[in-house]
Chains A and B, each alone.
Chain A
Amino acid sequence: MNLIDIFSRQRKTSLISLGLMLMILPWIISHGFESGNSYLRAFDMALLFIMLSLGLNIVVGYAGMLDFGYIAFYAVGAYTYALLNSPHLQALLPAWMMYPPFIVSIILAAGIACVFGIMLGGPTLKLRGDYLAIVTLGFGQIVRIFLTNLDRPFNLTNGPQGINNIQRVHLFGLDLGRPVQILGITFEPVHLYYYLILFFCALIVVVSLRLQDSRIGRAWVAIREDEIAANAMGLNTRNIKLLAFAMGASFGGISGALFASLQGFVSPESFIMMESVMVLCMVVLGGMGNIPGVILGAIIVSITPEILRDVINPLQMALAGRKVVDPETLRMLIFGLVMIVIMLVRPEGLWPSSRRRAELKPQTKGIALQEKDDMQDAERNHD
C-alpha cells in the first residue's frame, strides 16, 4: 500500500466515503444507541490506541525492535499535557508557561516524549530481541513508578492520586468542553473531542504512510534484516534506530496528550504494563508492519471489551439468572484465548504486509527449484 495507490482514482472515492462515514459516525452512535455517548467515548479511545499502535509499529514493525514499555511515552505525553494545563503546578511555574495554546501543548508533549524515546534508545542501541524487550519493560515500569512517587521531595506528579482539573481544550476560540452551535446544529463536547482526535489520528496515519515508503522506511526494514549489511551500505544505523525510537515515542506523546485532554484527569494507573502489552497485541494481531492491519488490530482490541461488557452481563442474567463471572475477568480470558488461536492459525496477523507474509510462509519449494535452475544455467554457460 503506498501513497500513489491511495490517491489513485478508485481509492479516492473510497477514501472520501470512508472520511464521510467517520464524520457521521458520532451522530449515528450517539443517537442510535441507548448508551451512545459511552460508545462514542470508546471510539475516542480506539482512535487514541490507533495512534499508539502506529507509533509502536514503527519501532516493532519497521525497525524490528521489541518494545514492552511503550506505554511510558503515552504517560509522558499525558503528564506533560496535564502539568501544563492544570492548576497543579501553578505555584511553581511562571505564569507564561501555564495554559499554553493547545497546539503548543501537543507539540511539547510530542517533543518531551521524543526526548524520552532517545533516552531509552540511546543506551540500548546494541541490544536486540529479548534483551531489548527486558530493558524496555523495565523502562516502562520506571516511568510509572516515578509518576507514582514523584510527589516527594516536591510535588511534581501528585503521586497515585494523579492530576485533576485539566483544562478543557480551547481551539480557535472554541471551548470544546461546552456544546457548540454551528449552522444550527448542536455539537456536543463528546462529538467535538471525537473530531479533534480523529484529525490527529488521520494526521498520524498519513505520516506513517509517508514514512513507510520513504528512504527512512526502507532503511528501517534494512536494519531489521541485517544491521551489518545496512551499515556496509552507508546507513548510519545508530541514528536511524534512534529515529525509530524518537518517532514512535512522539506518536505516543501526542496520543497521551489527547488522552489527558479528553479525560481531564491522569493518574499512574492508566499506564500500567498491561497497557503496553495491549498495544503490542494490537500491532501483532493486526499485522506487524502493515498500517491497515495495525489500525484493524487497534480497533478490535480496544472496542471488543466495550461490546463484551454490554453483551456478557445480559447474557449471564438470561442464562443463569445471576452474575457468574465478572465481565472484566472473562474479557481477559477470551482475549488470551483469541490471541493463542491467532498465533497458531495466523501468526502473521489478520492483515499482514506482503513482506511479513512471505517471511512466515517461506516458499521453500521455490528455493530448491531455483537452486537447480542456477546449476543448470551455470553448466550451460560452461559447455
Chain B
Amino acid sequence: MLQVKNLEVAYGGIHAVKGIDLEIKQGELVALIGANGAGKTTTLKTLVGMVKPAGGDIIFNGQSIARMPAHEHVGNGLVMVPEGRGIFSRLTVEENLLMGAYVRNDKAAIKQDLERVYTLFPRLKERMKQLAGTLSGGEQQMVAIGRALLSRPKLLLLDEPSMGLAPIIVQKIFEIIRMIAAEGVTMLLVEQNAKLALQTANRGYVMESGHITLSDTAENLLANTKIQEAYLGE
C-alpha cells in the first residue's frame, strides 16, 4: 500500500531523515518507534506533504505522492492525526468531527460514519455539543482520531497518540487503536512508548537519528535484547 524509498528530509542544512525505506501492506498496523529527535514526526509530516522531501520517493497505491500538496492527501486516503492532537478547541465536538469530512460530499455516508464514530466513542456522543477545548486530554485524542476516521482513511497515520496523557488513559486510547485496526483500517503508529506500540502492532521499525536501524515483526522486536535495553527499560 505504502512504499517509502530512500527518503531524505532536510531542514536547511540539517538532515533529519537520512534515506529510509518503509513498507506498509494493506490491513497492517505498523509501529515506528525511536527516541526524541530520531526523525519520526518528520517522516510522518513528509508522508502527508507538510514537509517536502530532499530526496527519495513515496509511493502510495502505485502513485508517487512525494510532491503532492498537503491538503490533497486527505482526499487520496492518507490521513494524519497530528502530534498534540490539534483539535479545534472552539468548535464543538461534532463540528470538529465534521471537519474531518471536509473533503467529502456524500452527506448520507458522512452521517453514517459519524454514527460509527459515536459508537466507537460513546463518550463523544454525550459531549457532541460541547466545545472541544473543554474536553479532557483523553477525550480530545478521541476527537482527533474520530475526526481522522471521518475522512475515510485508507492509511491512518497516528503521531504520538499517548503524548501528554495519564497512563491509564493511554491504555484506553490503545484499546481504541486495536478496535480501529480490527475494523480493517491500515495504520502507521509513531510512538515513544515503544512497549505499548509494539504490543499493539504487527510489525515495527526502529528509527535512530534519521536512519531505520531495525525492522522486524513486533514480537521479535519485543524479544530483542538490544531493543529491550534501549527502549523498553528492561
- Which of A233, A358, A362, A363 has most B Cβ within 10 Å? A233
Among B70, B134, B166, which residue has its beta carbon within 8 angstroms of that of A232?
B70
Nearest chain A residue, comparing its CB with the CB of B147 = A233
Quick check: is A206 within 8 A (CB to CB) of the other chain?
no
Residues from chain B with Cβ under 8 Å of A221 in the complex: 88, 90-91
Please tell me which stretch of A121-129, A243-251, A370-378 contacts chain B, meaning at least 4 of its Cβ atoms lie within 8 angstroms of it. A370-378
Please tell me which stretch of A87-95, A101-109, A234-242 contacts chain B, meaning at least 4 of its Cβ atoms lie within 8 angstroms of it. A234-242
Please tell me which stretch of A222-230, A260-268, A309-317 contacts chain B, meaning at least 4 of its Cβ atoms lie within 8 angstroms of it. A222-230
Q: In chain B, residues 68-88, which have Cβ atoms closer than 8 Å to a Cβ of chain A?
A: 69-75, 79-82, 86-88
- Which of B69, B82, B99 has most A Cβ within 10 Å? B99
Residues from chain B with Cβ under 8 Å of A230 in the complex: 88, 99
Determine whether the beta carbon of B91 is less than 8 Å from that of A374. Answer: no
Known contacts A362-B134, A378-B172; A233/B91 CB under 8 A: no
Closest CB of chain A to B106's CB: distance in Å? Answer: 14
The answer for the CA separation of A324 and B210 in the assembled complex, in Å, is 74
Determine whether the beta carbon of A378 is less than 8 Å from that of B86. Answer: no
Determine whether the beta carbon of A382 is less than 8 Å from that of B151. Answer: no
The answer for the CA separation of A236 and B102 in the assembled complex, in Å, is 11
The answer for the CA separation of A310 and B128 in the assembled complex, in Å, is 52
Closest CB of chain B to A351's CB: distance in Å? Answer: 17
Chain B: number of interface residues, binned into ranges: 35 or more
Chain A: number of interface residues, binned into ranges: 20 to 34
Closest CB of chain A to B146's CB: distance in Å? Answer: 12
Among B48, B102, B136, which residue has its beta carbon within 8 angstroms of that of A235?
B102
Closest CB of chain A to B69's CB: distance in Å? Answer: 8
Determine whether the beta carbon of A229 is less than 8 Å from that of B91. Answer: no
Determine whether the beta carbon of A375 is less than 8 Å from that of B50. Answer: no
Quick check: is B95 within 8 A (CB to CB) of the other chain?
yes
Residues from chain A with Cβ under 8 Å of B181 in the complex: none
Among B74, B102, B168, which residue has its beta carbon within 8 angstroms of that of A375?
B168
Q: A226-B87, A231-B71, A362-B133 are in contact. List 20 more A-B contacts (CB 8 A).
A: A219-B102, A221-B91, A226-B86, A228-B50, A230-B99, A232-B50, A232-B79, A232-B81, A233-B102, A234-B73, A234-B74, A236-B71, A237-B71, A355-B91, A359-B133, A363-B134, A370-B139, A371-B137, A374-B139, A375-B166
Q: Which residues of B contact A (CB under 8 A)?
A: 48, 50, 69-75, 79-82, 86-91, 95, 98-100, 102-103, 123, 131, 133-139, 147, 151, 166, 168-169, 171-172
